[in-house]
Amino acid sequence: MADAEPDQPTASGAHEAAGAHEATGAPGAKEAAAGAHAATGAHGVTGATIELEELTKIYPGTSQPAVDAISMEINAGETVMLVGPSGSGKSTTLKMINRLIEPTSGRIKIAGEDVTGLDPVKLRRRIGYSIQSSGLFPHMTVAQNIGQVPKMIGWSRSRIKNRVEEMLDLVGLDPREFHDRYPRQLSGGQQQRVGVARALAADPPVLLMDEPFGAVDPITRDHLQDELIRLQRELHKTIVFVTHDFDEAIKLGDRIAVLRERSVIAQFDTPEAILTNPTDDFVSGFVGAGAALKRLNLTRVRDVSAAEVPVFSVDDPLERIFSHLREHGGSELLLLDRRRRPYKWLRRSDLTRARGSLARVGSLVTHTVGREATLRDALEAVLTDSGGRVAITGRHGQYEGVVDMETLMNSVHELLEADRLTAIEHRHDLERLQAADTAARLEGGTQTPGGQE
């Protein structure tokens, strides 16, 4: 533990979000004030701020820089996505943060400390690194792979052992089953999880991810993305994530930096702002068609008001169910099983065939959506459901409400309207800032920012 993160907020083993560490102090606070999106910084942040100042990379023998003076401030505990077409230097930018690629000029600060002159080997042990196709060492077991960095920084054997179990648990792999497996005995998704576990094993405040989910199939990728969201909600690391997949960026990022050639930032803002208010054609081209649809990915079912349908339990007397159906002609009702899980949809027409038992009537509930599902998932489910409505389930599959076309349409309209307002406000803010800036530059000038029309 000798040389491990001397001035990081992450003390030994205190990865649990429970240890209510505040953000790193001065630099973090400053950015939180200036930053557009500091919501994640509120509680249990174990990440550190990252500042890139005029970072440039010119490869020998080329005149054009691969990365041209990129400057960026990343808040503690924030997930920042670097997206851009291939050749935009996003990966080069990422690799300069842990100095896998030495910058030609410029500075990198982590938690306020200038790391540009540090021994790169020691620096990298403080920064988690996860790459495409996991990069696991094939000749080492899962446990040895995960324990690699703790071992290098001199943790004791027993501490490493505990940590490995903890990490496997964290990424959702059963320690007893996977501890002694070799990478080739794992599926692509499992390998990637182990890769993330290895990157996080020494509890680094910063995690760099270089297209980590690029080589897995779409379903697994979706799964891994969900896992990362869950992990990040627990850990609050500072994550810098490179991808060329804009949908992935929207799904995972607190903020997204859209990079054009030579890593010039085209726009650096929240996913909402980029979707509703792209700064130029390059960004809107990259956002692609269907921004409104993509907006659905940003909102979760739990954030919208669910519709209500009458519900009954299978234990309720048949009389009550029947009389309800008789009285409320057109509407459906939802029958829950004994553990309050959605079981069957019943409508009035079922009444005539029931003959004193519900066993043979109604349509079984086949699709449900969780509270954590995106509105896009919900829309998909509603569209494919024959009745045009889907039950929302919470913990242990218990009934929480219903989502239908109408709820979805309403919430999407609300969302887009809200986005439009924020965008307008944002533009006003910018104009005001620029006005203030001009005012300040025109020394002795008498006009006030408020006087601008």
Decide: is 135 part of the binding site for other proteins (CB under 8 A).
yes
Query: How many C-alpha atoms does 243 have within 13 Å on its Cβ side?
Result: 24
Q: Does residue number 439 form part of the binding site for other proteins (CB under 8 A)?
A: no
Q: Is 110 in the site for other proteins (CB under 8 A)?
A: no
Member of 1, 17, 100, 306 binding other proteins (CB under 8 A): 100
x/- letters, 199..218, toward other proteins (CB under 8 A):
x--------x----------
Which stretch in 181-189, 229-237, 320-328, 444-452 sits in contact with other proteins by CB under 8 A? 181-189
Q: What are the C-alpha distances in Å from 275 to residues 75, 126, 258, 288, 408? A: 21, 34, 12, 9, 19
Provide the minimum distance between the beta carbon of 155 and other proteins in the complex, in angstroms, as a whole number: 14
Annotate 223-264 with DSSP letters as a single string.
Answer: HHHHHHHHHHHHH--EEEEEES-HHHHHHH-SEEEEE-GGG-
Judged by CB under 8 A, the residue of 61, 138, 444, 450 near other proteins is 138
* Closest to 96 (Cα-Cα) out of 69, 75, 76: 69
Of 139, 353, 395, 396, the residue at the interface with other proteins (CB under 8 A) is 139
Query: Are the CB atoms for 272 and 418 separated by under 8 Å?
Result: no
Q: Two tokens at 196?
A: 């993330």
Q: What are phi and psi of 50, to 5 degrees?
A: -125, 130
Q: How many residues bind other proteins (CB under 8 A)?
A: 28
Nearest residue (CB) to other proteins, 204 versus 278: 204
Specify whether the CB–CB gap between 76 and 45 falls below 8 A. yes
Contact pick of 104, 148, 313, 363 for other proteins (by CB under 8 A): 148
- As a whole number of Å, the end-to-end CA separation of the chain is 59
Closest CA to 67 of 118, 101, 114: 101
Q: Which of 98, 191, 276, 411 forms a contact with other proteins (CB under 8 A)? A: 98
Q: Which of 37, 57, 124, 237 is the binder for other proteins (CB under 8 A)?
A: 124
Residue with tokens 């005539």: 352
Residue choice 141, 191, 243, 270 for contact with other proteins (CB under 8 A): 141
> Which residue is it, tokens 């938690």?
111
* Nearest-approach distance from CB 172 to other proteins, in angstroms: 21
Match 């924020």 to its residue by tokens: 422
Which of these ranges, 7-15, 180-188, 219-227, 326-334, lies near other proteins under the rule CB under 8 A? 180-188
149 binds other proteins per the rule CB under 8 A = yes
In what side-by-side order are the strands of the sheet with 363-364?
Answer: 311-313, 333-336, 342-346, 363-364
Which of 53, 182, 226, 306: binder of other proteins (CB under 8 A)? 182
Nearer residue to other proteins within complex by CB, 145 or 393? 145
Scan for tokens 């550190």, then name that residue. Answer: 48
Task: Give the footprint of other proteins on this chain (CB under 8 A).
Answer: 98, 100, 121-126, 129, 131-133, 135-141, 148-149, 152, 182-184, 198-199, 208
